[in-house]
């Protein structure tokens, strides 16, 4: 999600920056971050001696958590927005990481692992913030005891952090995301990515980032095939101007056209607007019988939903409303004050109650342990899988950052929490089965209710990717 994601962020930008997409400013941003990292690495290196590691800054992170014997040898940090609409999902991901550490007695092989949960959101924005992502990444890179990062949730934040961690001393820092679905972080989709992507995220020339979720060519394909099954003939597609939102909107457009659905319009909504009535009138005039919102609920999505219903009618009426995993949360229902009823929302993976095998024990332990009976969000399972992939790579390594990354790209999971998969040379799951390539379509009632599951056809995925 940015991607799920997905799935998908807040900034403190100038007005000029607000009008730019990630693609337009990617090269400049990467260069600025490289310069910033150089200053940080020179001036605030971590503890290079023995004993307990130096903690990451308390302005973003918890203190070092550790329940094992002696002192931790290394720190693993998580990096998620812990404020705003995504908080329910991200707090469960963090709980899943802690639970996995408990199962391993806070060790990865012979190495004692401390943990810090870091927030990449601000209270003012109520979602991820580009400045926080940058400062967090520089803190990780400047602390030589940080051996890996689990995150991010939002693809735009990942685009900021990856190149900084990629150039960290001793070969870079391994990064594993349970949720990023923006394709261009790892691959260049024809017509869907800037010519500098994904290479600009890896200035060292080597990869340090992997994800355990399928990118948005799969989600776009799943949404298109679902719309086709619903009898939708024409769709109007909006995006929130963010990397994730524009990416999933683009793959959905291509996939829709490939299955014979007309795209009546493709444009952005302004997250700063107070009303979308005039935009909805334009959509009404197009004759589209569906509206797809590529983006995040955090980007004023609730108001978009309210104005859609006010102008185009209920979501189970003449004009259907669909959205990707950036909206697939209870917050969408709650914040839209009932207007989301009948809306379809997708998410990578299958419903929590349909997971099998190893996932069942994990879900039971997490629910009855750290979550104290709270319903499990699917992203918690993705978070658990991301943690397992990173901890296994650390366990199998010689304890150096470079070797952890090497082992990360040798990942081969059989019957894991999400099914079976390998990590390919780009950092994406391949030869995947199970939840890794399955998508769930929910319909909004007073809660998210499973409508169906979709595993998109390879030819629709290829079309969504532009090939």
Q: How many helices (H) and strands (E) does the chain have?
A: 14, 18
What confidence tens digit (pLDDT) does each residue in 41-96 have?
333 333 334 578 999 999 999 999 999 999 999 999 999 999 998 899 999 999 99
Predicted pLDDT of residue 14: 41
Q: What is residue 384's three-state secondary structure? A: helix
Predicted pLDDT of residue 117: 98
- Phi and psi (nearest 5°) for 291? -130, 130
pLDDT exceeding 70 applies to what percent of the chain?
89
Most confident of 3-12, 26-35, 79-88: 79-88
What confidence tens digit (pLDDT) does each residue in 362-393 have?
999 999 999 999 989 889 999 999 999 999 99
What CA dihedral angle connects 246, 447, 360 and 413, to 10 degrees?
A: 0
- Identify which has the larger pLDDT, 432 or 103: 103
Which of 28-37, 324-333, 450-459 has the least mean pLDDT?
28-37
Predicted pLDDT of residue 355: 86
Which element (helix H / strand E) includes 420? strand 419-423
What confidence tens digit (pLDDT) does each residue in 283-315 have?
999 999 999 999 999 999 999 999 999 999 999
Per-residue pLDDT for 434 more than 90?
Answer: no
Architecture (CATH level 2) of domain 217-348+439-464: 3-Layer(aba) Sandwich (3.40)
**CATH number for domain 1-213+353-431, candidates 3.40.50.1100, 3.40.50.2300, 1.10.357.20, 3.40.50.410:** 3.40.50.2300
The answer to whether 368 and 82 have CB atoms below 8 angstroms apart is no
Predicted pLDDT of residue 356: 85
Q: Answer whether the bond into residue 152 is a cis peptide, omega within 30°.
A: yes
Average predicted confidence (pLDDT) for the chain: 89
- Phi and psi (nearest 5°) for 209? -125, 135
Within 10 A of 340 (CB to CB), how many other CB atoms are there? 29
- HSE-CB for 253 with a 13 A CA cutoff: 20
Q: Answer whether the bond into residue 198 is a cis peptide, omega within 30°.
A: yes
Please state the domain extents for the chain: 1-213+353-431, 217-348+439-464
Per-residue pLDDT for 181 more than 50?
Answer: yes
Distance CA 216, CA 379 (A): 16
> Beta strands 290-294 and 121-122: pairing type?
unpaired
Q: How confident is the model at residue 405 (pLDDT cuts 50, 70, 90)?
A: very high
Distance CA 396, CA 421 (A): 18
pTM exceeds cut of 0.85 = no
The answer to whether 233 and 270 have CB atoms below 8 angstroms apart is no
- Identify which has the larger pLDDT, 2 or 121: 121
Give 386's contacts (C-beta < 8 A, 6+ positions apart).
Answer: 150, 176, 177, 178, 211, 212
What confidence tens digit (pLDDT) does each residue in 251-277 have?
999 999 999 999 999 999 999 999 999
Predicted pLDDT of residue 128: 95
Q: How confident is the model at residue 25 (pLDDT cuts 50, 70, 90)?
A: very low
Predicted pLDDT of residue 467: 67
- Identify which has the larger pLDDT, 421 or 22: 421
Which element (helix H / strand E) includes 149? strand 146-151
- Whole-angstrom CA distances from 37 to 27, 30, 131, 380, 402 are 15, 10, 13, 31, 18
- Phi and psi (nearest 5°) for 354? -110, 0
User: What six digits make up the tokens of 33?
Assistant: 């971050």
Predicted pLDDT of residue 251: 95
User: What six digits make up the tokens of 216?
Assistant: 């948005």
**Cα–Cα–Cα angle for 247, 252, 257, nearest 5°?**
135
Enter the DSSP assignment of 54: P
Per-residue pLDDT for 31 more than 90?
Answer: no
DSSP letter for each residue of 278-331 = HHHHHHHHHT-SEEEEES-TTTTHHHHHHHHHHHH--TTTTSEEEE-TTS-SHH
Tell me if domain 1-213+353-431 and domain 217-348+439-464 are identical in fold.
yes
What confidence tens digit (pLDDT) does each residue in 126-167 have?
999 999 999 999 999 999 999 999 999 999 999 999 999 999
Per-residue pLDDT for 18 more than 60?
Answer: no
Nearest one of 130, 168, 123 to 152, comparing CA atoms: 130
What confidence tens digit (pLDDT) does each residue in 329-368 have?
899 999 999 999 999 999 887 888 888 889 999 999 999 9
Within 10 A of 160 (CB to CB), how many other CB atoms are there? 28
């Amino acid at each position: 999600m940015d991607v799920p994601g997905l799935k998908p962020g807040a900034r403190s930008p100038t007005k000029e920056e607000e009008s730019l997409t990630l693609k337009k400013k990617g090269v400049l941003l990467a260069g600025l971050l490289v310069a910033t990292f150089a200053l940080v690495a020179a001036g605030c290196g971590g503890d290079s001696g023995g004993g307990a590691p130096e903690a990451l800054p308390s302005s973003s992170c918890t203190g070092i958590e550790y329940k094992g014997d002696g002192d931790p040898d290394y720190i693993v940090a998580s990096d998620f927005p812990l404020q705003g609409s995504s908080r329910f999902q991200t707090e469960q991901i963090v709980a899943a990481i802690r639970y996995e550490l408990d199962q391993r007695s806070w060790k990865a092989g012979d190495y004692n692992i401390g943990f810090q949960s870091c927030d990449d959101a601000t209270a003012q924005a109520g979602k991820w913030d580009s400045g926080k992502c940058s400062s967090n990444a520089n803190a990780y890179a400047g602390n030589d005891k940080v051996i890996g990062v689990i995150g991010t949730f939002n693809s735009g934040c990942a685009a900021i952090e990856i190149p900084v961690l990629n150039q960290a001393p001793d070969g870079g820092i391994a990064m594993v995301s349970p949720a990023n679905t923006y394709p261009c972080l790892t691959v260049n989709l024809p017509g869907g990515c800037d010519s500098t992507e994904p290479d600009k995220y890896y200035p060292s020339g080597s990869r340090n980032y992997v994800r355990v979720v399928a990118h948005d060519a799969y989600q776009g394909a799943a949404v298109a095939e679902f719309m086709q099954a619903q009898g939708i003939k024409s769709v109007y597609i909006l995006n929130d101007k963010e990397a994730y939102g524009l990416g999933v909107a683009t793959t959905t457009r291509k996939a829709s056209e490939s299955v014979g659905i007309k795209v009546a319009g493709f444009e952005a909504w302004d997250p700063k607007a107070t009303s979308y009535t005039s935009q909805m009138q334009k959509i009404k005039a197009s004759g589209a019988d569906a509206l797809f919102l590529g983006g995040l609920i955090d980007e004023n999505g609730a108001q978009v939903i309210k104005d859609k219903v006010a102008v185009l009618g209920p979501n189970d009426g003449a004009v259907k409303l669909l959205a990707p995993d950036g909206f697939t949360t209870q917050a969408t229902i709650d914040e839209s004050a009932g207007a989301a009823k009948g809306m379809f929302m997708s998410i990578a993976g299958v419903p929590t109650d349909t997971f099998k095998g190893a996932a069942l024990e994990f879900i039971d332990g997490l629910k009855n342990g750290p979550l104290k009976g709270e319903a499990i969000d699917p992203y918690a399972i993705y978070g658990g899988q991301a943690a397992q992939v990173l901890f296994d790579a650390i366990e199998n390594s010689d304890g150096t950052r470079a070797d952890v990354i090497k082992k990360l790209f040798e990942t081969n999971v059989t019957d894991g929490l999400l099914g079976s998969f390998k990590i390919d040379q780009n950092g994406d799951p391949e030869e995947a089965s199970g939840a890794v390539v399955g998508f769930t379509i929910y319909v909004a009632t007073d809660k998210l209710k499973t409508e169906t599951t979709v595993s998109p056809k390879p030819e629709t995925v290829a079309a969504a990717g532009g090939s």
